[in-house]
Amino acid sequence: MLYLADTWLGDHILSIVIFLPIIAAAMLFSRTAWQPESIRRFALGISLLTLLFAVLALLIYVSDRPGIAPAEWRLVERSDWLVGEDDQVPLRIQYYVGVDGIGLPLLLLTALLTPLAIWGSFSGIQDRHREYYALMLLLHGAMLGVFCARDLLLFYVFFEFTLIPLYFLIGIWGGSQRQKAADMFFIYTLSGSMLTFAGVLFLGWKASLLPIGPDGLRVFTFELDRLYQLAADGHLSLNTQWWLFIAFFAGFAIKVPLFPLHTWLPLAHTEAPTAGSVILAAVLLKLGTYGFLRLSLPMLPEASIALAPIIGVLAVAGIIYGALAAWVQRDIKKLVAYSSVSHLGFCLLGMFSLHLAGLTGSVLYMVNHGLSTGALFLVVGMIYERYHTREMDHLGGLARQMPIMAFFLILFALSSIGLPGLNGFVSEFLVLLGTFNSEKFVLPGFKGPLGIAFAVPAASGILLGAIYMLYMVGRVLFGPVKEPGHGFDSSTGLTRDLTPREIGVLTPLAIGCILLGVYPKPAIEIMEPALDRAVLARMVPQESASLARYDLSDKHKQAVELDGAYPVDSHADASNLDAISQSDRQHRMPVHLQPEIRNPSTTRREVLR
Amino acid sequence: MAILIPLLPLAGAALVGLIGLRGLRARSHWLVILPVAASLYLAVQLYFQVQASTQACAHGVRQMFESFTIYQWMLAGPDSWLNVSFRVDPLTCVMLLTVLIVSFLVIIYSVGYMRDHHGHAERGYERFFAFLAIFVFSMCTLVLAGNFLVLYVGWELVGLSSYLLIGFYYQRPAAAAAAKKAFLVNRIGDFGFGLGILLIYYTFGTLEYANVFRMIQAGVTVEGVPLESARVTTIALLLFCGAMGKSAQLPLHVWLPDAMEGPTPVSALIHAATMVTAGVYMVARCHIIFAASPYAMWIVATIGAATALFAATIALTQFDMKRILAYSTLSQLGYMFLALGVSAFDSAIFHLFTHAFFKALLFLGAGSVMHAMAGEIDVRRFGGLRKSMPITHATFLIGGLALAGFPFLAGFWSKDEIIHAAFESDMPWLAWVAVVTAWLTAFYTFRMIYMAFYGRERLPEGVEHAHESGAWMSLPLVILSIGAIGAGYLGVTIHRGGFAGIFEPHGAFHDFLSRNFGRPEVSHEGGGHLLMYVSSLIALWGIATAWYFYRRRPTIPMAIALVAGPVYRLLYHKYYVDEVYDRVFVRPLRKVGEICYDLDRYLINGVLWLITLVPRGIGFGLRRWQQGAMQGYALGMVVGLVVVLWWMLMTT
């Protein structure tokens, strides 16, 4: 049987995914003679092709070859990029890409959202098409690169590179305050990531001092695997880790954005064109959370554990603060922007709970927030194109005018407030579960840094989230019809309710929301091993990791084996199973206390040995 | 098979959404009626299977109390999944049958109700049926849940259906506001409920009912340490928060009266018969947790009794038929919680069962009146409908008698069983509250009936003549009134010398449920006799008083209202609870939100502005050398980089 992973395609798929949009952007930029129509088609086609390759990458990723243990990173491609010859410490910066279960879901999210954002801006963008779509494709490639990079410097290059296209997207096609918003966005994030860059350089330099890695040579390199080894081998003192953590924090926390560094976000979101807001919310904010997860946690484990309560406090503050601030907004887009502050608080909270459920929830949260908030921005954009306002005071009762839009808006709002059955619930519940049980995730010598005191105030987010979302839905959709003075603007060629194109843009997101809500298992199964290996295994002290995760006392085992304590009529006869029909019986698992409580010997993780 | 019960209505809803819109609009009810009928059939089958297995075998029963997993849903820890699991036992069956019977009848009724007098479907007709189907799906999920997570799913989804259906007439601001209020007040309860579920996982490391209950009975936590009673009490009270929200108990009752803005079939189905009883069901389902904590039981009983009395007093002064019924629902739910709190779990479920029939009947009757009165529901605006709407009148009267606890109707058996259980418990004073409430119930029910159906015929403006509703609407009324008469006898045993041991939980209904709640020991017999006479007398006294006040001397109520002015106003304005909540919670919270936003704009951005002064100042100084050209910045970066690298290399 032929495995795609063994072919040329398998070796280069990530490079194709990353550079296809970038090359296409360069091509597009040189085609001055193209009509807007063909520019749009080209951009959409390229982004869909990228999506196709990303899905192909997923298929290759999941198709395990029998007999070969899955590596931590797959679809790896590496070659030297900047190489300096030196007798003692050669410089070796590589082009080194690969994905694991953390990067892949975000890669797919990016690959899915960008075509939709491009398709969604067909009617909204009226001038300078060539530049607009070229910048979108450029942004697309840069974002994809971040999630694939395995070299810290490469990561940083892609990370920073996303700023430039978005700066122009906001600054040129934005709203009335676009200049201010673009400047603020750029300076805010750049000043943070400058500090991050200092941290990156320091880490590389530190690594060059020591013969780490399997070859035992000293190399000035930014290869992530080597850098992870620094803390694991005890070369980074807690003090150093603190400073590095703060350096990374500056860049990532602003990007996330973590309270109180979030003030650039509402302005940038409000002023950006629809597609810009979508990409910003869905993907760019995730660069920050991804950075924390990929770099801060595994590279600086001790500092992360030490500082987790502080991050936890900020995250909880952000959840409540963002929600309350969202509630008093009059501009729909600003409301959604503040809701992002609240949601990303959940994301970081779950991450720093260092509980497997919390971490899984956190990565799922990144994807889910991308889907639902991205979709909300798209819907808001569609309303704006028709009425040229986003003020809730000027709108009302639109469910009557635009029933299809109302359906989608309600669906995504419900997804955003974590209604069970939709995606938001899964991640929110897992985050809360992880945070709540953080301190109970007991390994000998390791205790999660958060706990009930963080989970309880965070859980108020489920109430506050409902308050502002339903407030918005009620104002916009319900009540008597209210339209701004000039009414519906038909000059854009749009129908009153959504056009087929707009329905086509929203439908994939809706399907994603439902699928990830009802059956997230495939996604979780991709994420879980990676979280375990790439993050948890590096956080937990090695000596304790080899011990069993659960230490059940004999007393407890006796207790749970108590039978008949439940009021059961024991006089009856034991053969008839008619209570539950035949088909159901097949699904039934032996429920002698399900996997939560197990034999300690089976709980050891392969990776922790 | 059990899986199909919720899925069929969901498929119906999806079909309505997909094809109901095109051409088939006015026929879209079939896409919902048929799946719900099929689900009802399956539920009956399930009932017989459970019945057979409980009689026959212990093994079957053992199996029954285990949850069966449908699929793995989310990851809670290493190799440990939270599952989507169901569980079928007698309690499930009783709830499923109640929910599906009432749903089925209400859906049939809606076919007639959601049309104008010419038989044309109302605007949003297909949407209405799709939402109803979603509700049936959600409620069945809630009832069939095999663990707390799925319970929570059903719990939230019925909340969603309720939101969508209350807001069905979304163009009316009152309806939109009521929908939002219902969802949010429920979410307050869910906040506690969710924390309770998290605490259960924290304590027991599992969310499956069977495992949790087994560990509580064994008195251990997941670590094997003995379970503290404070922990159990906390869990029970947090869960009860959810029940207070969903079942509209004090102090989270405020959403239910407003929920009457929804179409009347919705009020009958969701806000009277089924969804609001989910809290009762949940407490009964978790009775092992509650029974382990006397303090929690005390709270449940007290809040139940307090709500029963509180709501009944408000119902005395209202004029909107649906609101009277809504307060009556609150009051009856209070009875159920009282029963739960005094450990009479099967009595609570019994009352839930009979209440579903007669309260759905009353609501549908009110809907029938409303349909004939062109949407008018204020009993001051019409009256004397007895002649022109005979079927509605007869069935409404039966429902009213059952609610009032008139002897030998459904409510009589179940309600007095609760009062009896309360007298037997260690909180007998609560039984006196229940007795007083019983009198009030009889009074306000017949106040409404006399005002609406008796006396000279009066019609609101714009209605030429009142006319009886069509067969789609009348048939469910008749079927429900049979239930309102007969459902009570499922809980009564007539053997052993007449009504011996009456009001003690011995009937077929209780036998069936004894697999869940255990078989209570037979207490001293004969105590029920006195209660039977007393409660019959109280019901008759209440009805007679209403007759005297509203038929014989209609000036008396007016006089009382004048004499007891402040009290009357307090009741009429529902104790001003809404106003207090608005002042104490809503507005301050909104104020905090505004402060947050101001902080954002002024404080944080101000600090940032101050910080930017530093580079600005430097820039001002450096302006001489760099005229803002791009090369300048590039140069700066390169210089900086060189310095850093140089420093690094020097240190090595």
For residue A550, being part of any structural domain is answered with no
- Asked whether the predicted pLDDT for residue A553 surpasses 50, the reply is no
pLDDT at residue A302 in the model: 86
State whether B593 and A325 contact (CB < 8 Å). yes
Strands B68-77, A220-221: pairing kind: unpaired
Disruptive mutation site among A549, A552, A556, A563 for chain B (greatest number of B CBs within 10 Å) = A556
Closest CB to A463: pick one of B191, B217, B601: B191
Element (H, E) at B85: strand B80-86
**CB under 8 Å to A349, separation ≥6 — which residues?**
A312, A315, A316, A319, A358, A362, A431, A435, A450, A454, A458
Indicate the pLDDT class of residue A589, thresholds 50, 70 and 90.
very low
Q: Is residue A542 part of a domain?
A: no
Asked if pLDDT for residue B249 goes beyond 80, the answer is yes
Domain that holds residue A115: 2-522
Instruction: Give mean pLDDT, residues A12-20.
Output: 89
pLDDT reading at A51 higher than 80? yes
pLDDT confidence of A546, banded at 50, 70, 90?
Answer: very low
User: Which pLDDT band holds residue B441 (cuts at 50, 70, 90)?
Assistant: very high
Highest mean pLDDT among A27-36, A333-342, B405-414, B607-616: A333-342
Average pLDDT, chain A: 81
C-alpha span between A132 and B96 (Å, rounded): 57
Nearest CB among A420, A430, A566 relative to B153 is that of: A420
Mean pLDDT, range A157-171, rounded to an integer: 90
Higher pLDDT, B56 or A598: B56
- Using CB atoms, which residue from B1, B173, B199 is nearest to A584? B1
**CA distance to A172, A373, A466, B166, B420, per residue, from A415 (Å):** 32, 9, 11, 20, 47
Instruction: Report residue A583's pLDDT band, with 50, 70 and 90 as the boundaries.
Output: very low
Q: Tell me whether residues B54 and A419 touch, CB distance under 8 A.
A: no
* pLDDT category of residue B495 using cuts at 50, 70 and 90: very low
**More confidently predicted of B115 and A149:** A149
Which pLDDT belongs to residue A278?
93
- How is residue B261 annotated by DSSP? G
pLDDT over threshold 80, residue B195 = yes
Other Cβ atoms closer than 10 A to A309: 15
pLDDT of residue A586: 34
Residue A369 pLDDT exceeds 90: yes
Residues of A in contact with B70 (CB under 8 A): 587
Q: Compute φ and ψ for B68, nearest 5 degrees.
A: -115, 135
For residue B590, what is the enclosing H or E element?
helix B587-598
Could you tell me which of A432, A561, A521, A600 has the C-alpha nearest to residue B202?
A: A432
Q: How far does A405 lie from chain B, in Å, by closest CA?
A: 14
Q: Is the confidence at residue A581, as pLDDT, over 60?
A: no
Which strands form A91-99's sheet, in the order they lie side by side?
A74-84, A91-99, A220-221
* DSSP three-state, residue A499: coil
Residues of A in contact with B211 (CB under 8 A): 560, 591, 593-594, 596
- State the nearest Cα–Cα gap between A449 and chain B, in angstroms: 15
Neighboring chain B residues of A598 at a CB cutoff of 8 Å: 79
**Number of C-beta neighbours around residue A397 at 10 A:** 21
Note the pTM of the prediction, 2 decimals: 0.88
Question: How does pLDDT run across A54-113, given as a tens digit for each residue?
Answer: 998 888 888 765 555 556 777 888 888 877 776 677 788 888 888 888 999 999 999 999
Residue A340 maps to a domain: yes
Instruction: Give A364's pLDDT tier (boundaries 50, 70, 90).
Output: very high
Instruction: Answer yes or no: is pLDDT of A456 > 80.
Output: yes
Residue A539 resides in a domain: no
In a domain, residue A488? The reply is: yes
Q: pLDDT band at B500, cuts 50/70/90?
A: very low
Exposed e or buried b per residue across A74-107, where buried means at least 16 C-beta atoms within 10 angstroms of its C-beta: bbbbeeeeeeeeeeebebbbbbbbbbbbbbbbbb
Chain B within 8 Å of A609 (Cβ-Cβ)? no
Å between A121 CA and nearest CA of chain B? 27
Task: Please provide residue B523's backbone torsions phi and psi, each rounded to the nearest 5 degrees.
Answer: -90, 180
> How do residues A240-261 score in pLDDT, each as one tens digit?
889 999 999 999 999 888 888 8
Does residue A547 belong to any structural domain of this protein?
Answer: no
- Tell me whether residue A573 is in a domain: no
List of chain B residues whose C-beta atoms are within 8 Å of the C-beta of residue A554: 224
Candidates A360, A559, A591; nearest CB to B215: A559
- Please state the separation of Cα A366 from the chain's center in Å: 3
Confidence of residue B140 (pLDDT cuts 50, 70, 90): very high
What is residue A66's predicted lDDT score, i.e. its pLDDT? 55
Q: Which residue of B57, B237, B345, B590 is the best one to mutate when testing the A interface, meaning the one whose CB has the most A CBs within 10 A?
A: B57
Task: Classify residue B601 as exposed, middle or buried by CB count within 10 Å of its CB (0-12, 13-18, 19+).
Answer: middle
- Between B294-315 and B229-246, two packed helices, what is the crossing angle to 10 degrees? 20
Q: CA separation (Å) from A416 to A457, B363, B561?
A: 18, 35, 49
Q: Report how many domains make up chain A.
A: 1
Mean pLDDT over each residue of chain B, to the nearest integer: 84
Categorize the per-residue pLDDT at B152 as very low, low, confident or very high, splitting at 50, 70 and 90. Answer: very high
Q: What is residue B60's predicted lDDT score, i.e. its pLDDT?
A: 53
- B59 to A591: CB separation less than 8 angstroms, yes or no: no
Q: Is residue A602 part of a domain?
A: no
Position A360 scores a pLDDT of 92
Task: Say whether pLDDT at A563 is over 70.
Answer: no
Range with the lowest mean pLDDT among A221-230, B155-164, B327-336? A221-230
pLDDT digits (tens, 9 = 90+) for B306-325: 999 999 999 888 888 889 99
- The SS3 assignment for A79 reads strand
At A50 the pLDDT is 93
